[in-house]
Structure 1
Amino acid sequence: MPNIASIFKTEISRVARKEVRAEIETLKKASIAHRASIAELRRQVNALEKELRRVAKGVTRPAAGPGSDDGATTSTKRRFSATRLAAHRAKLGLSAAIYGQLVGVSGQTIYYWEQGKARPRVAQLEKLASIRDLSAREIAERLATQ
């Protein structure tokens, strides 16, 4: 006949392991939830820092631009849209290199503008606006003279 003390000891250990396992499971679930929320907060912080850098860049450039132009272009603030640039180029049926010749930049620069990887400067925006006002025939004439 087994010893009652050893039976109690094994039973107590079994019950204790069961209780500890239940507590650990709740702690693991809480830990997983906390890690997920920490990861989400890190993503949000990174996104906000990126947006802050973008806004800070955008604020410093226009402040330097109009001051150097002596107020000549401050009345006409130009906006830029990459998709509209691509649509205009496609409408005219021009390659990026030829469209770049009209603006005075390379074809690669036109691609970067269309993809949103870069933005044109104020002087280049003015050239883009003047090209937008031209008809296809006037653009062909301008290309023929270059």
Structure 2
Amino acid sequence: MPNIASILKAEISRVARKEVRTEIETLKKASTQYRSAIAALRRQVDSVEKELKRVSKGAGRTRSEPTPTQASEQAPARRFSATRLAAHRSKLGLSAAAYGSLIGVSGQTIYHWEQGKARPRAPQLQALAGVRAMGKREVQEHLSAA
């Protein structure tokens, strides 16, 4: 007949392993849920950071609103398009330097505007509007006179 103490010890070990196994299973499930929640939060943070970068880039380009007295003193607001500038310059058949001399800026500035690396200021926008109003003959006359 086996020793009752060894049988009791083996039974206690078996029951203890069973209890530990059930506890570990619940901990594994909780750990898996936490890891997936952390991954989802990281994805959300990444998307928010990307959105913040996009918005901050756009915010740097916005200008402050003029006061009503300034708005009435200034000319109407002009819009700028880099592709339109390049198309107009090629339509006139001018180099960037020649087009820049019409406006009062360098040829390098014209290239930067066309590539979207820079934007013209308000007085330069007015000069651009003036050049856009000119025809090809007027532009050639203006360049030959200068």
For 1:34, the aligned partner's letter is L
**How far apart in 1 are the matches of 2:13 and 2:132?**
93
Q: State the match for 1:118 in structure 2.
A: 118
In the TM superposition, residue 117 of structure 1 has moved relative to its aligned partner by 2.6
Q: State the match for 2:80 in structure 1.
A: 80
Report the number of matched residues: 137
CA 1:144–1:80 in 2, change beyond 3 Å: closer, same or farther?
same
Q: State the match for 1:106 in structure 2.
A: 106
Runs of 4+ in 1 over 6 A off after TM superposition: none
1:1-146 residue pairs with structure 2 within 5 A?
Answer: 3-55=10-62, 58-59=63-64, 62=66, 66=70, 71=73, 74-146=74-146
Provide the TM-score with structure 1 as the length reference. 0.74
**How far apart in 1 are the matches of 2:122 and 2:59?**
22
* Structure 1 spans left out of the alignment, 5+ residues: none
* 3-state SS of 2:64 partner: helix
**How far apart in 2 are the matches of 1:76 and 1:51?**
23
Provide the TM-score with structure 2 as the length reference. 0.74
* Structure 2 spans left out of the alignment, 5+ residues: 1-5
| Alpha-carbon displacement from aligned partner over 1:78-122 (angstroms, at most 9, x marks no partner) | 332222111111212222122111111111111222233322223
CA 1:133–1:51 in 2, change beyond 3 Å: closer, same or farther?
closer
Q: CA RMSD in A?
A: 2.7
CA 1:45–1:84 in 2, change beyond 3 Å: closer, same or farther?
same
